[in-house]
Structure 1
């Protein structure tokens, strides 16, 4: 169904479910995102690249004094609570995002209105930052309902607060920034240390690549992802290096170590912290080179860097699972694909590929066929999308 028609259905559902007038209903569109380069380094304040894609979470809503009442087209159960009495986090409950958004906003603003509405967004299998997308959408809805003017940078911090403080995930600002700052046919380049960003248009001579999103069918990680443990291993590596440099009081993140300083003292690291540092410093260099490739339209070399990022994620960051590694290997061997890697941690969800738009439809069919041969038990739940980049989160006009 075309998205405008789907959004009209959401508006009608809010009117029917909650008894509000049609002119009271608003719709927020919050896109999913990809990260071509900059894997697993935003929490260490590294530089990253990103794009929003033309698939999104939508929230249709109307203001509701003093309460939040939400239903979802994709997740079971309704969410209902008073603004003055926000419940604690509940494991596995999609309502955590609404509760977290209210908690984050109430630390800075007085909220008199909640929202009543319906959420929709089906790409929740992992890898496209669906959690950040719904968090941003709910922040924008609550802010509009209360007449608040909040900058993009503040919303990045607010959504990070939802994930870090309410949900307990120690991630950086890549996901939120990509969702809020991106623009169609441009590469979003973000320095997670300074929080400055640059939007770089695709080179006119070649245009933007197509984006292939290949879902593994694996929606639940078969083993613990240990995301937070990997963050701690990066911090351990940073602490050892900073101690050797005489800067032990500096924040233990790898961005606080210069590449030449790392080269001087890397021999002090061993085990997982050593491998995490290898990934960080090599990925920083891939980001730098990849941005140069994008500027001059060298998509083939950009793709090679993306694939190298995928390889380092497997070997040095030690993430991935057999199904996602199979999918990554299929993609990098498919005609027309410039480069590919996991989208997200690689324990479930999907892989991304940048590719020649002219070859995208044929590649989609080829990837599906070859993945079915390798992972027949997952193939019925697997699918491949051809996407393009898109603008960031926003309210839609009626």
Structure 2
């Protein structure tokens, strides 16, 4: 699949620009196993890179022009320039590579003009971080082509800067970290305060399980007001409690916190604080007992996001409830919320039954048919060819 994807991107580049690419780089999407909206609160997350990825075929050019094309179609070739790059000069998916160029330039790195073809199989709007996959693939290519020598931590911060200041999405560092640091057969346990990362074994197949993704096909956007308002509530909660970030609040502190803030802000705080603890508990369970031991934490995480953080939606709840009723041992929505995907840990022998039950439940409620697929932990961003 990896070789096939590299050749597809290289062939599309030849067809578009009439020349061979300098190389093909890739970066995967991610599934967040647990730890939602904890990253920008300097807490803990446990994502893994998935076996769906963005690939970029890249060729430097001497004239400072940038030409961008996606194999998924759209508006044809987007034309930009390295000099004077700003948010107003890019539109659609081109804001992601443009933002990375801008972030590299902000670091004093001289970026040449280039032609680029994007070929991605990470579903758009599904909560699997399709945008960060693009950014990390472009950043990995630029890092090599320019000789910048940025390490994983610096690449994480550069792509976060592109997201926050150029794209305009107030995201944390989880998605980039998973895409850049991932390894096959492992999840990435990340401390978002200091970027300390550890690989934690996550071998679902070895435990007789599959990780089923239910793409509700309800599109969401991190740049919309729902995400920003949740982040603002977290910042308010930290200010009221006199801490740098909600990472510094323990579960034992919550009863006292309840009396200090309005009910909505308290629920937002409670989600983040308990979710941090669930990440730590999940890591401990994976190390001690394996994937089957984490099911209850997934269920509790979804309930917290549904009731306290209020970022679920009827389709996500349907996916979780139907999968659990049909045999999944644990399930939760994943990603920023307001749409996107749910994940379910499903015994391999029950996968077909769970898939059918979810599809039937969506049809019964009049929802758009979901897209169902399994994912496994994969290697992170790298050069393919």
Aligned to 2:276: 284
1:64 and 2:61 correspond:
yes
| Cα displacement (A) at 1:220 | 5.2
Q: TM (normalized to structure 2)?
A: 0.92
8 A Cα contact 2:216 2:340, kept in partner: yes
Residue 115 of structure 2 aligns to a residue in which SS? strand
User: In structure 2, which of residues 358, 361, 382 is the aligned counterpart of residue 367 of structure 1?
Assistant: 358
Aligned equivalents of 1:343, 1:91: Cα separation in 2? 29
Aligned equivalents of 1:70, 1:306: Cα separation in 2? 39
Aligned to 2:85: 86
Aligned pairs for 1:15-26 within 5 A? 15-21=14-20, 24-26=21-23
**Which deviates the most, 313-322 or 367-376?**
367-376
CA 342–195 in structure 1, closer or farther in 2 if over 3 Å, else same: same
Aligned to 2:159: 159
**After superposition, what is the alpha-carbon deviation per residue over 1:251-295, rounded to whole angstroms, capped at 9, x for unaligned?**
3x2123344444434321222210011101111111111111111
Aligned equivalents of 2:253, 2:365: Cα separation in 1? 44
Aligned pairs for 1:26-45 within 5 A? 26-45=23-42
Aligned equivalents of 2:83, 2:137: Cα separation in 1? 21
Q: Tell me, which stretches of 5 or more residues in structure 2 are unaligned?
A: none
Q: Tell me, which stretches of 5 or more residues in structure 1 are unaligned?
A: 243-249
Aligned equivalents of 2:5, 2:229: Cα separation in 1? 40
| Cα displacement (A) at 1:395 | 1.0
Aligned to 1:247: none
- Output the aligned Cα RMSD: 2.3
Aligned equivalents of 1:358, 1:220: Cα separation in 2? 32
Aligned to 2:196: 196
CA 306–350 in structure 1, closer or farther in 2 if over 3 Å, else same: same
| Cα displacement (A) at 1:207 | 4.1
Aligned equivalents of 2:25, 2:292: Cα separation in 1? 36
Aligned to 1:103: 102
| Cα displacement (A) at 1:349 | 1.9
| Cα displacement (A) at 1:328 | 2.0
**After superposition, what is the alpha-carbon deviation per residue over 1:135-185, rounded to whole angstroms, capped at 9, x for unaligned?**
111111222222221101111101110111112222211111111111111
| Cα displacement (A) at 1:329 | 1.5
**After superposition, what is the alpha-carbon deviation per residue over 1:72-109, rounded to whole angstroms, capped at 9, x for unaligned?**
12251222212112142478611111211111000113
Aligned to 1:140: 140
Aligned equivalents of 2:340, 2:204: Cα separation in 1? 33
8 A Cα contact 2:101 2:111, kept in partner: no
User: In structure 2, which of residues 371, 376, 381 is the aligned counterpart of residue 388 of structure 1?
Assistant: 376
1:352 and 2:343 correspond:
yes
Aligned to 1:338: 329
Residue 342 of structure 1 aligns to a residue in which SS? strand
Aligned equivalents of 2:351, 2:153: Cα separation in 1? 35
Aligned equivalents of 1:307, 1:91: Cα separation in 2? 40
8 A Cα contact 1:59 1:119, kept in partner: yes
Aligned equivalents of 2:285, 2:73: Cα separation in 1? 41
